[in-house]
């Protein structure tokens, strides 16, 4: 992990388990304040405990990224608590059963798109509408493919979904 996260405020969606939880702890170890989002409150609080155990500071905000209003509240609470948002790791996602597209129901398809794809898009627009980013920040670059530069002020968006 680079020193680029030191002093930054990072948001990790899907931080209640798996890759997101590990990333949230890594963010904290790198010196970032971490906002953890997900639907499972108990798991989210466990992640915050792990962040505190490595000396970090974290906030859990119960959020369903398929709900625009909840993503807006997430960004608002981030700014209320930490004053800014520098980096968003849009990791929240679901994996449906490994069957061909032809066999998937439209409901399943819509649900996957709504969380894995539009969940990232919602975070982007919540950031813009809430003016969450106080000033340009450096970007964390986990992979070139997962980043979307968003103009000024800048924010790094990364997605695993």
With CB under 6 A as the contact rule, the residue among 115, 123, 132, 158 that binds ligand NAP is: 115
Query: To the nearest whole angstrom, how small is the minimum distance from the Cβ of residue 45 to ligand NAP?
Result: 11
Q: Among 50, 92, 132, 155, indicate the residue that binds ligand NAP (CB under 6 A).
A: 92
Residues 25-64 vs ligand NAP: string with x where CB under 6 A? Answer: -------------xxx--x-------------------xx
SS (H, E, C) the chain: CCHHHCCCEEEEECCCCHHHHHHHHHHHHCCCEEEEEECCHHHHHHHHHHHHHCCCCEEEEECCCCCHHHHHHHHHHHHHHHCCCCEEEECCCCCCCCCCHHHCCHHHHHHHHHHHHHHHHHHHHHHHHHCCCCCCCCCCCCCHHHECCCCCCCCEEEECC
Query: Rule CB under 6 A: is residue 126 a binding residue for ligand NAP?
Result: no
Nearer to ligand NAP by Cβ, of 79 and 158: the residue is 158
Q: How many residues bind ligand NAP (CB under 6 A)?
A: 23
Residue list 6-25, contact with ligand NAP (CB under 6 A): 13-14, 16-20
């Amino acid at each position: 992990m680079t020193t680029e996260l030191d002093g930054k405020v990072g948001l990790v969606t899907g931080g209640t388990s798996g890759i997101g939880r590990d990333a949230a702890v890594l963010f904290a170890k790198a010196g970032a304040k971490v906002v953890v989002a997900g639907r499972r409150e108990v798991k989210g609080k466990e992640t915050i405990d792990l962040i505190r155990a490595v000396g970090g500071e974290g906030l859990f905000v119960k959020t369903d990224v398929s709900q625009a209003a909840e993503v807006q509240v997430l960004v608002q609470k981030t700014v209320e608590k930490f004053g800014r948002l520098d980096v968003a790791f849009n990791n929240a996602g679901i994996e449906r059963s490994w069957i061909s597209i032809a066999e998937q129901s439209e409901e399943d398809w819509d649900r996957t798109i709504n969380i894995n794809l539009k969940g990232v898009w919602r975070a982007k627009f919540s950031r813009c509408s809430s003016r969450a980013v106080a000033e340009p920040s450096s970007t964390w670059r986990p992979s070139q493919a997962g980043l979307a530069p968003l103009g000024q002020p800048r924010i790094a968006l990364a997605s695993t979904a």
